[in-house]
Amino acid sequence: MAGRSPPTVFSDDADVRVEDYRQVGAQGHFRLVRQDKAILQVTLNAPGRHNALNAAAAVAVATEEGIDDRAILRALESFQGTGRRFDFLGEFPLAEVNGKPGSAMLIDDYGHHPTEVDATIKAARAGWPDKNLVMVFQPHRYTRTRDLYDDFANVLTQVDALLMLDVYPAGEAPIPGADSRSLCRTIRGRGKVDPILVPDSAQAAEMLASVLTGNDLVLVQGAGNIGKIARHLAEIKLIPQKTEEERHG
């Protein structure tokens, strides 16, 4: 691409634009409109408009390099996402955790910046608008929590129930006021959700059980060691995972 301007995807006159985006479950459906090229109808096995924009960027480069449209579509439609990025782990029956009827969907996501967390929440709401959205969140680094404190507080008020682990320090020393207890207090003061502080990750499953209703989507969110909670919940599930076609109708 030496000597050529890089393709664009984020403006109204971009080389590749996302149009008519809609989400069904964990799949995104949209058109990719390209300058002087055929429109591509895309189904992407990754939810959220942010993933559609990522796909548009990849298509812009592939188009610039002269890759055949059929190869582009095959690559997009075969993409199954990446580990710990809106990673659907199945469903677990509530009878196994709190004796109630029903089940909870389980999704594991690595996002730990407010923008990433916001995108995950929006994708969950778009795909399953009738679900009780429960997030188990672990802030990552005291400095990030301090620097983006208000952003975290704003984003985390969007869920229906919130459980928060202690900050994963990643080698950092604690910073007064940039801890999970303080963040829970601030979020509670917004009056939209009443966070539950989880002082020990070993108690997370038990504390999670107290907020599940039988029609839940559980997001396990963060970049520290929180992934082990998702793995623990995945191990107790007894409901067979559905195929992509069954999940998306």
Q: What is the pLDDT of residues 189-242, one digit of tens each?
A: 999 999 999 998 888 888 998 899 989 999 999 998 998 888 888 876 544 444
> What's residue 244's pLDDT?
46
* pTM of the full structure: 0.80
- Strand order across the beta sheet in which 87-93 lies: 87-93, 103-109, 215-222, 132-138, 161-165, 196-198
Q: Give domain limits for the chain.
A: 16-78, 87-248
What is d(CA 152, CA 157) in angstroms, rounded to the nearest whole number?
Answer: 9
Greater model confidence, 69 or 7: 69
What is d(CA 165, CA 224) in angstroms, rounded to the nearest whole number?
Answer: 10
| 23 within 8 A of 86, measured Cβ to Cβ | no
Q: Is 146 exposed, middle or buried (0-12, 13-18, 19+ CB in 10 A)?
A: middle
* Residue 1 confidence (pLDDT) above 50: no
The helix/strand count (H/E) of the chain reads as 9, 9
Going through the chain in order, the beta strands assigned E by DSSP cover 16-24, 27-34, 40-44, 87-93, 103-109, 132-138, 161-165, 196-198, 215-222
Q: What is the CATH number of domain 87-248?
A: 3.90.190.20
What is d(CA 130, CA 145) in angstroms, rounded to the nearest whole number?
Answer: 31
Tokens matching residue 24: 């069904």
